[in-house]
Structure formats: C-alpha cells, structure tokens
Amino acid sequence: MIALTLGLSVPSVAVLVHVVLCRWLPRGVRMLALPVLCLVSFIVLSLGALAAGLSLTPDDWFLAIVLSSSLIFAYMLLFIGVVHDSPTLAIVNAIDASGPKGMSLELWDGFVIRHPFVRSRLDALVAAGVVKREGQVLSCRGEVGPLVHLSDIYMRFCRYDMRAG
C-alpha cells in the first residue's frame, strides 16, 4: 500500500508543479523539467515516508519507481502532443472553434496550408466518427466537447497559442 501511495503521489506532485512552472519556464527546458521534478518529488516524498517511520521493502521501492516512471512518461507523451500541436488536437480545436455550424471546407483548406500533415488524420477522425463531414462543412460530434475544452483550458493555462500552427 505504501508503494502504491508513493508511486501515485510522486507523479501527481511532479505534474502539478510542472503545470504551474510551465508558464515561466523557457520552451527548451519544459520537457527536461519533468524528469527532474519527478526525481525531486520522489526523493522528498521518500524521505518523508522514511521520516514517518514507514518501512519499504525492495519490492515496494521497485513498484513505486516503476509506477512513478510509467505515469510520468505517459504525461510526457501527452505534453508533447499539446506543446507541438498534434494533428488530432489541432483538427478538433480548429473545427470546434468554428462554432456549432462547423468549419467550411474553404476555411479547412486554409487550415491545411498552415498544418500540412493533418489531411490524413482528418480522414481517420471522420472514419472514427469524431468529426462529421456534411456537404461543405466539417463539425465535431457533441461527445468530443468536454475533452476539447479540457485541452483548451490546459493550453491557455500554459500560455500556448493553439491557433499559431
């Protein structure tokens, strides 16, 4: 139980600190800060557990390290997608930003010029049912909204310009 708590607490603390620091860290340091924050969180929380008299077996330490590392790597992959404007996020954000009437294919053509690798991803989103193509208009299905809004809030908090391309 201690290993599970430590394994979940370390990445949680590291991610929370990272989200706050992202606003002030230079772009080149943002990704490098994650493993450092994870290591610092692991050391601080491990020392806290030891100071509280909790004893961890080698198996507990191994489990805590594997769980922490896995969760931090998952966050790093998500962070890369947000920072580098992944094609899926770019498509869904652009179509959603066009409002309830959707994005005209004329506006879509301008979007593709600014984001050259999204055309194949759009076909996959249409096939998956995330985006609908109705005549000359692209629109998002309603179920996508909360996820898109969550990514928008995160991007605004970190001061990323999602329309920059």
How confident is the model over 113-152, as pLDDT tens digits? 777 676 767 777 777 777 788 888 887 765 555 555 666 6
d(CA 132, CA 102): 9
Asked if residue 67 has pLDDT above 60, the reply is: yes
Q: Quote the pLDDT of residue 32.
A: 82
d(CA 27, CA 126): 33
Q: Which fold has domain 87-157?
A: Arc Repressor Mutant, subunit A (1.10.10)
Which has more confidence, 79 or 50?
50
d(CA 93, CA 70): 28
Q: What is the phi/psi pair of residue 158, to 5°?
A: -85, 0
Q: What is the mean pLDDT of residues 86-107?
A: 79
Q: Quote the pLDDT of residue 104.
A: 87
Q: What is the mean pLDDT of residues 25-41?
A: 84
Q: Quote the pLDDT of residue 141.
A: 67
Q: Please report, in angstroms and rounded to a whole number, the separation of the first and last CA atoms in the chain.
A: 45
Name the range with the highest mean pLDDT among 44-58, 88-102, 108-122: 44-58
Asked if residue 76 has pLDDT above 70, the reply is: yes
Give every CB contact of residue 142 below 8 A, 6+ residues apart in sequence: none
Q: What is the mean pLDDT of residues 11-20?
A: 89
What are the residue ranges spanned by the domains of the chain?
Answer: 2-83, 87-157
Helix ranges (DSSP H) in the chain: 2-21, 27-51, 58-83, 87-97, 105-114, 119-128, 145-157
Token digits of residue 64: 């805590």
